Amino acid sequence: MKIIALILSIFTTFIVANSDIEILKKAKKANLLPIPNTKIELLKIINNQKNPSTDAKIELGKKLYFDPRVSKSNLISCNTCHNLALGGADGVSVATGDKWHPNPHHLNSPTVYNAVFANYQFWDGRSTTLEEQVKGPIQTQFEMAMHKDILPSKIKNIIGYKEEFKRAYGPNVKITFKLITDTIAIFERTLITPSRYDDFLNGDFKALTPKEKDGLNTFIDLGCTRCHKGIALGGFTQPFDTGKRYKYRNIGDFHGNKNHLVKTPTLRNIKETAPYFHNGMIWNLKDAIKEMGKIQLLLGISDKDAQKIETFFGSLSGRKPKIKYPILP
């Protein structure tokens, strides 16, 4: 009996391992890439050689990220709309900034977690680096409304910051708008969230449940990976609602860049970042999955398949970096 049980267990292990290998191969073929699990490989991707990182710069960037004094009103920080305790987003349909102004294009705040892995930033993909991106929200009237010439003197007048900039950049540092924004970008480059999905792609077959593997399979089979691919599961610009129309296309006036391309959002931590789509009009994740099928793939996705994909999406909720809320200078 024992021998039969042993043979059976070897046999089933072999079958499971074999189908796991098949899914892994298929995922790699569909250009799904893990967050690297070695520090050297990871740093190659997240570090920007033109804006090199150190621990002191990361710490200073974190303070600036959480500091509402970076805004004109002294009330709004990056963390107001990209709340690191709320999946890196804000949980409302329309971003709301200075003087309680809603975004005039009815745009939703995307997550900052894993933004470093995207090739393009903003819904229309108008920036290619975080360093360039961060200059936008600080100055935008309906976001932080801060003048770029005023911010450096405001920061210099806070004695503690002067000291911290010296510690990070040396005694002769000149605090400029660019240095402030580059420092925030250095902190943003650390906001990555490896998940069980990455563990699976890195070869730990037990990291996903059988249902999640089934969902991953469905996600690939239906063609979602045509656009949601790479480490970010997105981050490239794509045509949007050119065939079938998006149900809420007339809420706000955003229809992509001049070529009608829209930045494909990351799907990492997607369960934490409702509401969905550029105008934040869809709250239910299954509805978002079905809407995607309809407009991007001209497919009617069944409840069952939408459920499978949603189950797979659970594995994209990542391990957040441990962030100690900073006491500001």
Q: Which of residues 191-210 bind ligand HEC (CB under 6 A)?
A: none
Among 72, 106, 213, 228, binds ligand HEC (CB under 6 A): 228
Which of 143, 164, 212, 291 is the catalytic position? Answer: 143
Please report whether residue 103 would count as binding ligand HEC according to CB under 6 A. yes
**Residue of 32, 78, 155, 192 interacting with ligand HEC (CB under 6 A):** 78
By CB under 6 A, the residues from 116 to 135 that bind ligand HEC are 118, 121-123, 130, 133-134
Tell me if 289 contacts ligand HEC by CB under 6 A: yes
Site for ligand HEC in 134-173 (CB under 6 A): 134, 137-138, 143-144
Rule CB under 6 A: say whether 110 interacts with ligand HEC. yes
270 part of the interface to ligand HEC, by CB under 6 A: yes
User: Does 297 contact ligand HEC by CB under 6 A?
Assistant: yes
| Site residue total, ligand HEC (CB under 6 A) | 51
Shortest gap between Cβ of 43 and ligand HEC (angstroms)?
19
CB of 26: closest distance to ligand HEC in angstroms? 15
SS (H, E, C) the chain: CHHHHHHHHHHHHHHHHHHHHHHHHHHHHCCECCCCCCHHHHHHHHCCCCCCCCHHHHHHHHHHHHCHHHCCCCCCCHHHHCECCCCCECCCCCCECHHHCECCCCCCCCCCCCHHHCCCECCCCCECCHHHHCHHHHHCCCCCCCCCCHHHHHHHCCHHHHHHHHHHHCCCCCCCHHHHHHHHHHHHCCCCCCCHHHHHHCCCHHHCCHHHHHHHHHHHHCCHHHCCCECCCCCCEEECCCCCCCCCCCCCCCCCCCCCEEECCCCCCHHHCCCECCCCCECCHHHHHHHHHHHHHCCCCCHHHHHHHHHHHHCCCCCCCCCCCCCCC
Which amino acid appears at position 199 of this protein? D
- Spatial neighbors of 89 by CB under 8 A, at least 6 apart, are 81, 82, 83, 108, 109, 110, 111, 272, 273
First to last CA, the chain: 71
Q: Which of 155, 220, 262, 316 binds ligand HEC (CB under 6 A)?
A: 262
Catalytic residue status for 143: yes
* Contacting residue, 24, 27, 32, 95, with ligand HEC by CB under 6 A: 95
Identity of the residue, 34 or 235, whose beta carbon is nearer to ligand HEC in the bound complex: 235
Q: Does 273 interact with ligand HEC (rule: CB under 6 A)?
A: yes
**The only residue of 62, 69, 72, 82 in contact with ligand HEC, by rule CB under 6 A:** 82
User: Which spans of this chain sit near ligand HEC (rule: CB under 6 A)?
Assistant: 76, 78, 80-82, 95-97, 103, 107, 109-110, 112, 115, 118, 121-123, 130, 133-134, 137-138, 143-144, 184, 188, 222-224, 226-228, 238, 240, 262-265, 270, 273, 276-278, 288-289, 292-293, 296-297, 309
- Residues designated as active site: 143
